Structure 1
Amino acid sequence: MTDLSVANTAKKTAFDVDAIRRDFPILSQQVNGKPLVYLDNGASAQKPVAVLDAMDRYYREMHSNVHRGAHTLGDRATAAFEGARETVRSFLNAESTREIIWTRGTTEAINVVANGLAPRLKAGDEILVSQMEHHANIVPWQMVAERTGAKVVPIQITPEGELDLDSFNSLLNERTRIFAITHVSNALGTVNPVATLIKEAKARGIITLVDGAQAVPHYQPDVQALGCDFYAFSAHKLFGPTGIGVLYGKAQLLEEMPPYQGGGEMIERVSFEGTTWNTLPYKFEAGTPAVAEAVGLGAAIDYVGRLDRRAMEIAEKALLDRANQLVETVPGMEIIGTAKHKAPVMSFKIAGLHPSDIGTLLDQQGIAIRTGHHCAMPLMAFYGVPGTARASFAFYNTLDEVEQLFTALQKIQRLFA
Structure 2
Amino acid sequence: MADASAKPQAPAAVGGLFDRIAAFRQKMNLPTPGSWEGLHREAKMVQPTNFLIEGAKFDLTSVLTPHFQVMHSFSWGASQFPPTYHFGTVYAKDKIMLHGQVDDQGGLQARANYNWLAQPANPAAQPAYDPTKPPHEQPPPQLPEQPKLSSTSKVTAHFTNQPGQNMVQLEHDHVGSDYSFNVKAVNPNPVDKAASWGKKGSSSTTGIYQLAYLQSVTQSVALGTEFVYNRMMADVEESSLSYALRYAPPPSPLPPPTTVPPGMPSPFPPVDPKSPTQVFTATFQPGSGLLHSTYWRRLNQRLEVCAEVQLLMTKGGRMGEGRREGIASVGFKLDTINASIRGMVDTMGRLSAVLEERIVGGLAFHLSGEIDYAKGGGGQGRVGIGFTLEA
TM-score of the aligned structures, taking structure 2 as reference length: 0.25
Structure possessing the higher relative contact order (Cα contacts under 8 Å, 6 or more residues apart):
1
Q: Which has the higher strand share?
A: 2
Give TM-score, length-normalised by structure 1. 0.24
Which has the higher Rg, Structure 1 or Structure 2?
Answer: 2
The structure whose residues are more often helix, as a share, is: 1
